[in-house]
Amino acid sequence: MQATYVEAIRQGIWEEMERDPNVFLIGEDIGVYGGAFKVTQGMLDHFGERRVVDTPIAESAIVGAAIGASFMGLRPVAEMQFADFISCGFDQIVNFAAKCRYRWNAPVPIVVRAPCGGGIHGGPYHSQQNEAWFTHTPGLKVVLPATAKDAKGLIKSAIRDNDPVIFYEHKALYRRIKEDLPEGDYTVPIGKANIHREGKDMTIVTYSAMVYVAEEVAQLMEKEGVSIEIVDLRTLTPLDEETILTSVRKTSKVIVLHEANLTGGFGGEIAARITEKAFESLDGPVLRIAAPDTPVPYSPPLEKAYLPDAQKLLEKVRWLAEY
Domain ranges of the chain: 2-180, 194-322
| pLDDT for the residue numbered 105 | 95
Mean pLDDT on 73-101: 97
- Which architecture does CATH list for 194-322? 3-Layer(aba) Sandwich (3.40)
Cis amide leading into 238 (omega within 30): yes
CATH topology classification for 2-180: Rossmann fold (3.40.50)
| pLDDT for the residue numbered 51 | 98
Task: Report the chain's mean pLDDT, rounded to a whole number.
Answer: 97
Q: Taking a C-beta distance cutoff of 8 angstroms, is the pair 7, 38 a contact?
A: no
Using alpha carbons, select from 43, 32, 45 the residue that is nearest to residue 10: 43
pLDDT tens-digit profile of 245-272?
999 999 999 999 999 999 999 999 999 9
Q: State the distance between the two ends of the chain, measured CA to CA, in whole angstroms.
A: 44
**Do 194-322 and 2-180 have the same topology in CATH?**
yes
SS3 content of the chain, % helix, strand, coil (to 5): 40, 20, 40
Mean pLDDT on 295-309: 96
| pLDDT for the residue numbered 1 | 74
CA angle 262, 167, 25 (to 5 degrees): 145
From residue 215, alpha-carbon distances to 63, 197, 226 in Å are 36, 8, 13
pLDDT tens-digit profile of 157-171?
999 999 999 999 999
Q: Are strands 165-170 and 141-143 parallel, antiparallel or unpaired?
A: parallel
Q: Taking a C-beta distance cutoff of 8 angstroms, is the pair 26, 186 a contact?
A: no
> Does pLDDT of 235 surpass 80?
yes
The catalytic residue among 121, 126, 136, 258 is: 126
Handedness of CA 157, 145, 26, 87 (dihedral sign): positive
Residues 6 or more apart in contact with residue 272 via CB below 8 angstroms: none
> Does pLDDT of 102 surpass 80?
yes
Using alpha carbons, select from 22, 17, 114 the residue that is nearest to residue 63: 114
Whether 136 is catalytic is no
pLDDT tens-digit profile of 117-154?
999 999 999 999 999 999 999 999 999 999 999 999 99
Q: Are strands 75-79 and 111-116 parallel, antiparallel or unpaired?
A: parallel
From residue 258, alpha-carbon distances to 37, 129, 209, 212 in Å are 23, 9, 9, 11
Q: 3-state class of 239 per DSSP? A: coil
| pLDDT for the residue numbered 231 | 98
pTM score? 0.97
